[in-house]
Homo-oligomer: A and B are copies of this chain.
């Protein structure tokens, strides 16, 4: 039995490119007692993966060179030597970037509870990016109704959920995105104001739509966006630092915001967070977001590529604004 998998063959310096990756085909061993064979159907690409491609200590260890890359994956059990997993059962794992693989059962989670939803949503709105949005907004940011929320990278997997959750909670929501098509879509799903940061500098554009200031800023972009937001924060405003996609591929150390001193005078708080610290809220998050999906207050959007050979392109597309909503790679089962 052959498995195809993507490996990191060299560490990107600055922008990653196709040459940093290689497709490798390996023979799988026979299943041992207790193991299952999984065929992945949906793979995820997420911006945080870029960080793991650097050889630096962080909250997750770096990817190893010439080993299969890792990431979220939804698949089906195709063979089982474990009574807890039936053939045909959908499972979630952290063993993406490959098609077929042999799983120890503790490495997979059953997705029986996803029967009412498309399975790929377990990698997006009902998965890690959804929990990121929900916990960042509610647990880190302590969003109150009637507040003004600004979210950058608003058309992305996390940003688009942040905006919709904030609207559902009664907030006024401002977003930033990098194309007119994204701006139009975000307005369709209920954003009050959306800035196209490709058309004018974010600092100027944000000032124009924030006459009443910003109470809560959810930062996915960093750099210029964070600086623009600090300018416009209200007294005692909160900034939730989730990511800094503007900076992930920068070769030189970026200058920080030129207005840090405002953090003192305005009594701002900035909090960095990573979603794994909020896994304990999984059930509350699921209940809340499923309810909002049911009421039509949260719309799920995916940008789907097909085939394992499209995985690298899908990943690179995260940094060129290719995706609207969640970027997913669907593997052909034939």
Interface string of A201-244 (1 = CB under 8 A from B): 00000000000000000000010001100000001000001111
Give the distance in Å from the alpha carbon of A160 to the alpha carbon of B321 in the complex. Answer: 50
Partner of A267, one of B51, B244, B263, B277: B277
Interface range for A? 35 or more
Q: Which residue of B lies closest to A271 (CB)?
A: B269
- CB A234 to nearest CB in B, in angstroms, measures 12
Q: Is the CB of A260 within 8 A of B261?
A: no
Judge whether B259 and A253 touch: CB under 8 Å.
Answer: yes
Q: Across the interface, do B244 and A253 meet the contact criterion of CB distance under 8 Å?
A: no
Q: Chain A at the B interface: mostly helix, strand, loop or mixed? A: loop
A230 CB, min distance to chain B CBs, angstroms: 9
**Residues B255 and A256 in contact, CB atoms below 8 Å apart:** yes
How many whole Å from A321's CB to the nearest CB in chain B? 20
Contacts of A270 in B (CB 8 A): 263, 268-271
The quantity of this chain's copies bound in the complex is: 2
Is A266 an interface residue, CB under 8 A from the partner?
A: yes
Interface string of A57-73 (1 = CB under 8 A from B): 01100000000000000
- Cβ-defined contact, B273 with A261, below 8 A: no
Residues from chain B with Cβ under 8 Å of A235 in the complex = 59
Q: A253-B258, A253-B259 are in contact. Are A264 and B277 (CB under 8 A)?
A: no
Q: Is A181 an interface residue (CB 8 A)?
A: no
Check if A105 is an interface residue, CB within 8 A of chain B.
no
User: Which residues does chain B contribute within 8 Å of A273, judged by CB atoms?
Assistant: 264, 267
Instruction: Annotate A82-117 by CB proximity to B: 1 below 8 A, 0 otherwise.
Output: 000000000000000000000000000000000000
CB distance from A203 to the nearest CB of B (A): 12
Q: Considering the complex, which residues of chain A in the window 17-70 have a beta carbon less than 8 Å from any beta carbon of chain B?
A: 51, 58-59
Q: Return chain B residues, CB-CB under 8 Å to A269.
A: 269-272
| Binary per-residue interface labels of chain A (271-306) against chain B in the complex, 1 for a CB within 8 Å, 0 otherwise | 111100100000000000000000000000000000
**Are B274 and A261 interface neighbours, CB within 8 A?**
no
Is B253 in contact with A255, judged by CB distance below 8 angstroms?
Answer: no
Further 19 A-B residue pairs, CB within 8 A, beyond A241-B263, A254-B261: A59-B235, A227-B256, A241-B260, A244-B260, A244-B261, A253-B258, A254-B258, A255-B256, A256-B258, A256-B259, A256-B260, A264-B273, A264-B274, A265-B274, A266-B272, A267-B273, A268-B270, A268-B272, A269-B272
14 A-B pairs in the complex with CB atoms less than 8 angstroms apart:
A59-B265, A222-B260, A222-B261, A241-B263, A253-B259, A254-B258, A254-B260, A254-B261, A257-B260, A263-B270, A266-B272, A267-B274, A268-B271, A270-B270
